[in-house]
Amino acid sequence: MGWLRLLGKEYLLNWLIKALGSSIGRKFVMGLTGLLLIGFVIVHLAGNLLLYVGIEDYNNYAHALHSKPGLVLVAEIGLLALFLAHILIAVGITRENRAARPEGYQMRRSKQNRTAATPSALMFVSGAILLGFILLHLADFRFHLRNPGPDGEEPFAKALRLLQDPVSAGVYFVGSLFLGWHLVHGFQSVFQTLGWNHPKYTPLIKKAGVALAVVLALGFASFPVWAMLKKYGVQL
């Protein structure tokens, strides 16, 4: 963190570093990066849904996306920065939170009418599972480390082929459901963290968050199911 301190001294941003380093400040960054990542996943799902529209439409969209390598690089660096910030802060916060209670209770019961397995209690676990899914997804589609395809393969054919790998299909299906699980808490939590708790909007935000989580989870989970059905010759 030495370079951060230097930056603080040189550019008079000590106050900003202090604010963003505090427990509340890190939650702001956590929430904002999470919200931006949600924006990315929505666009990602919209693009993927073109798989169902037609082979040509999907291929044209994919080619258009990749026609400007410079822009792709900027987008990838941006996404990497968002993911890294979100994950690193999560690890830091989780470690501190665990350390805040070194010895647990012999008996524990919630006063809220719910069980322990709620989305909010398992954000780190669902996040870790999501990370595993994303790493496999990058290995498949971005870095071609597993099942490399022939040269000049069209995007639609590539997607279908990779989704028909039984390991990938299983991980993608489960990972998509955990994405929804993560967002049920994550989406509405951002607004509380940013201080936007209001009797008129908060109930709406909570409902919208659940709806968004369900749409994203089912949307992404449908692709491996679709690919496997195609693989075994089910007419769609």
Place of tokens 């994919």: 62
State which of residues 74, 79, 120, 204 lies at the interface with another protein (CB under 8 A): 120
- Smallest distance from another protein to CB 133, Å: 22
Task: Spell out the long-range contacts of 149-155 with Cβ–Cβ below 8 A and sequence spacing 24 or more.
Answer: 154/55, 154/59, 155/58, 155/59, 155/62, 155/63
- Smallest distance from another protein to CB 94, Å: 9
DSSP single-letter state for residue 198: -
What would you report as the CA-atom Rg of the chain, rounded to the nearest whole angstrom? 21
State which of residues 67, 111, 152, 235 lies at the interface with another protein (CB under 8 A): 111
* x/- map, 139-158, another protein, by CB under 8 A: --------------------
Q: Could you give the 3-state DSSP secondary structure of residue 115? A: coil
Cβ proximity to another protein: between 103 and 151 the closer is 103
State which of residues 192, 206, 218, 230 lies at the interface with another protein (CB under 8 A): 192
CB contact at 8 A, 155 and 47: no
84-103 residues in contact with another protein (CB under 8 A) are 93, 96-97, 99-103
- Taking the C-alpha atoms of 125, 37, 140 and 94 in order, what is their torsion angle to the nearest 10 degrees? -20
Q: Is residue 126 part of the contact set for another protein (CB under 8 A)? A: no
∠ at Cα 151 (44, 176), nearest 5°?
Answer: 25
5-34 residues in contact with another protein (CB under 8 A) are 15-16, 19, 22-28
Return residues touching another protein (CB under 8 A): 15-16, 19, 22-28, 93, 96-97, 99-112, 118, 120-121, 123, 185, 188-189, 192-197
